[in-house]
C-alpha cells in the first residue's frame, strides 16, 4: 500500500513557526508514545536548534509501560528533556513546570545575571496533527490561565497564555506534518489513525498490524479474541477475529473488511491493551543510524 499525506498544508504551518521561533526559548514537542519516532517531524530539529527542548511522550496510557521507559531513556541520551504524559487525564502534567525550569536553567541563570528577573520562559507546543497538542494546552493551562494579549513582533492575532510568572505559552499549537522517510513511517501513522481511513485498504493494514501483534502482544490478542494460535497466519487470525465478533458476509464467509475495522478500532482505543509499535532496539532513524539498546523484546 502507498501511504500519502497532504503536503499542501505544510508550508503555511512551517512559515508560522519560522516567524515565531525567534521569540521562543523552549520547544515543547509532543510525540505519540506508541510510535515515538514516526510521529516526529525531522524539520523540528532544524527549527528548534539553539532552543531548549522538551519532549512529551503523550498518550502514554495507550503505550506499553516498559517501552515508555526505554524511549524516555533513549531521548535523554540524545540530550532532550523528556516526560511521560497523558494529556487527556492530566497524568504527568504536573511535572511539566519542573521539566521546563530544568530545560531552561541556563537561560534563567543568564537572565538573572543580567538583572532580568521577571522575564518568563516562552514556549511553543509542536507536534503532528492529532498527537494531542490542544488537549495538552488545555490540560496545562486549565481555566486559570490569562491571555496576555499581543506582543510586539508577534504575528497579529497571536496570543500568549501566561501559566504563571515563569512560563508563557504561545497559544497556537505548531502543526508539523509527518515526513515519510519510509513506508514504515506511513504505515505506523495509519495504524494509530493519523491518516484518513477512507484512502487505506483496511484489511491489508489489519493484517500488517496482526503480524506485529502476534509477535509482541500475543497474550493480549488471545485475551481479547480467544484462541490465537502461534502457527496461524495473520489472515487466519483475522478470520478468528471475524468469528469471535460475528463479522460474516451473507453467504456465511468472514467479512474481513469489517473484522479489520473492528481490530483497528480496538487497537486505537487501547482495548487490546497498552501497545507500542516502535521499539528502540529495532528502529532506524531518518539519518540511517540504528537506534541502540535492545533485549529480546526489542527494548532496553
Ligand atoms: P491536536 O491538537 O494535536 O490535533 O490533538 P487533540 O488535542 O485534538 O487530540 C486528538 C485526540 O487525542 C483527541 O481525541 C484527544 O482526546 C486524544 N488525546 C490527547 N491526548 C491523549 C492522551 O494522552 N491519551 C489518550 N488516550 N488520548 C489522548 P478525540 O477522539 O479527537 O476526541 P475525544 O475522544 O477525546 O472526544
Q: What count of other Cβ atoms lies within 10 Å of the Cβ of residue 131?
A: 29
Look at ligand 1, atom 25, and give the residue with the nearest C-alpha.
Answer: 59
- Pocket around ligand 1 at a 6 A CB cut-off: 58-59, 61-62, 86-88, 127, 129-135, 173
> What pLDDT sits at residue 159?
79
| DSSP at 28 | E
From CA 48, how far away is CA 106, in angstroms rounded? Answer: 16
Position 297 pLDDT exceeds 80: no
Predicted confidence band at 254 (pLDDT cuts at 50, 70, 90)?
Answer: very high
What pLDDT is recorded for position 244?
93
Would you say residue 298 has pLDDT above 50? Answer: no
pLDDT of residue 199: 73
pTM of the model: 0.89
For residue 88, the CA-to-ligand 1 centroid distance in Å is: 7
Mean of pLDDT values over 126-135: 93
Between residues 14 and 269, the one the model is more confident about: 269
- Judging by DSSP bridges, how do beta strands 174-175 and 121-127 pair with one another? parallel
Asked which of 73-77, 172-176, 193-197, 283-287 is least confident by mean pLDDT, the reply is 283-287
Q: Where is average pLDDT lowest: 95-99, 115-119, 153-157, 215-219? A: 153-157
Q: Give the confidence band of 51 by pLDDT, cuts at 50, 70, 90.
A: very high
Closest listed residue to residue 277, CA positions, set 56, 28, 38, 30: 38
Mean pLDDT of all residues in 120-126: 92
Q: What share of the chain is helix, strand, coil (3-state, %, to 5)?
A: 40, 15, 45
Tally Cβ neighbours within 10 Å of residue 9.
12
Distance of CA 1 to the CA centre of its chain: 23
In the chain, pLDDT over 70 holds for what percent of residues? 86
Least confident of 116-120, 130-134, 142-146, 234-238: 142-146
Query: Between residues 112 and 29, which one has the greater pLDDT?
Result: 29
Q: Tell me: pLDDT of 111 over 50.
A: yes
Q: Closest ligand 1 atom, CA of 135?
A: 7
Residue nearest to atom 16 of ligand 1 (CA): 88
Q: What per-residue confidence (pLDDT) applies to 32?
A: 98
Contact of 191 with 178, CB cutoff 8 Å = no
In this prediction, residue 178 has a pLDDT band, given cuts at 50, 70 and 90, of confident
Q: What is the pLDDT of residue 173?
A: 83
CB count, 10 Å around CB of 116? 10
When mean pLDDT is compared across 37-41, 144-148, 206-210, 219-223, the lowest value belongs to 144-148
Mean pLDDT of 176-195: 88
- Predicted local confidence at residue 153, as pLDDT: 45
What is the signed CA dihedral for 58, 61, 66, 68, rounded to 10 degrees?
A: 0
Closest CA to 26 of 59, 49, 58: 49
- Helices assigned H by DSSP within 22-173: 43-47, 65-77, 95-103, 105-113, 133-141
Q: Nearest 10 degrees: CA dihedral of 98, 100, 104, 109?
A: -40
Ligand 1 atom, smallest distance to 173 CA:
2
Do residues 22 and 51 make contact, with C-beta atoms less than 8 angstroms apart? no
CA 123 / ligand 1 centre spacing (Å): 21
Residue 154 — very low, low, confident or very high, per pLDDT cuts 50/70/90?
Answer: very low
Ligand 1: centre distance to CA 31 (Å): 12
Residue range 114-122: average pLDDT?
88
Q: Which atom of ligand 1 is nearest to the CA of 30?
A: 3
The whole-number pLDDT of residue 152 equals 47
> Which residues make beta-bridge pairs with 168?
122, 162
**Residue 280 · residue 294 · CB < 8 Å:** yes
Q: Which among 128, 130, 197, 265 is the best mutation to test ligand 1's pocket, defined by most ligand atoms within 8 Å of the CB?
A: 130
Query: In the predicted model, is pLDDT for residue 7 greater than 80?
Result: no
3-class DSSP assignment, residue 168: strand
Does 49 score more than 80 pLDDT? yes
Ligand 1: residue of 9, 84, 87 to mutate (most ligand atoms within 8 A of CB) is 87
Across the chain, how many H-helices and E-strands are there?
11, 8
How high does pLDDT run on average in the chain? 86
pLDDT for the residue 286: 47
CA 215 vs CA 102, 209, 230, 256: distances in Å: 39, 10, 9, 21
What is the band of 143 on the pLDDT scale with cuts at 50, 70, 90? low
Amino acid at each position: 500500500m502507498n501511504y500519502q499525506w497532504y503536503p499542501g498544508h505544510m508550508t503555511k504551518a512551517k512559515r508560522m513557526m519560522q516567524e515565531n521561533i525567534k521569540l521562543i526559548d523552549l520547544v515543547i514537542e509532543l510525540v505519540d508514545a506508541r510510535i515515538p519516532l514516526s510521529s516526529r517531524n525531522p524539520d523540528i530539529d532544524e527549527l528548534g536548534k539553539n532552543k531548549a527542548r522538551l519532549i512529551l511522550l503523550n498518550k502514554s496510557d495507550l503505550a506499553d509501560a516498559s517501552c515508555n521507559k526505554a524511549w524516555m531513556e533513549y531521548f535523554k541520551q540524545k540530550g532532550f528533556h523528556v516526560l511521560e504524559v497523558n494529556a487527556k487525564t492530566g497524568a504527568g502534567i504536573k511535572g511539566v513546570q519542573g521539566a521546563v525550569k530544568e530545560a531552561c536553567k541556563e537561560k534563567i541563570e543568564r537572565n538573572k545575571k543580567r538583572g532580568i528577573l521577571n522575564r518568563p520562559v516562552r514556549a511553543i507546543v509542536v507536534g503532528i496533527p492529532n498527537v494531542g497538542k490542544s488537549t495538552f494546552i488545555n490540560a496545562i493551562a486549565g481555566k486559570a490561565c490569562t491571555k496576555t494579549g499581543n506582543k510586539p513582533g508577534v504575528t497579529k492575532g497571536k496570543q500568549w497564555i501566561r501559566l504563571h510568572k515563569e512560563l508563557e505559552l504561545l497559544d497556537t499549537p505548531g502543526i508539523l506534518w509527518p515526513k515519510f522517510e519510509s513506508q514504515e513511517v506511513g504505515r505506523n501513522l495509519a495504524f494509530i489513525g493519523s491518516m484518513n481511513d477512507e484512502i487505506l485498504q483496511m484489511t491489508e493494514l489489519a493484517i500488517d498490524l496482526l503480524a506485529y501483534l502476534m509477535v509482541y502482544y500475543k497474550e493480549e490478542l488471545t485475551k481479547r479474541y480467544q484462541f490465537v494460535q502461534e502457527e496461524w497466519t495473520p489472515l487466519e487470525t483475522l478470520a478468528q477475529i471475524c468469528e469471535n465478533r460475528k463479522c460474516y458476509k451473507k453467504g456465511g464467509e468472514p467479512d474481513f473488511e469489517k473484522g479489520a475495522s473492528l481490530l483497528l478500532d480496538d487497537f486505537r482505543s487501547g482495548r487490546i491493551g497498552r501497545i507500542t509499535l516502535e521499539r528502540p532496539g529495532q528502529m532506524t532513524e531518518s539519518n540511517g543510524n540504528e537506534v541502540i539498546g535492545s533485549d529480546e523484546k526489542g527494548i532496553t
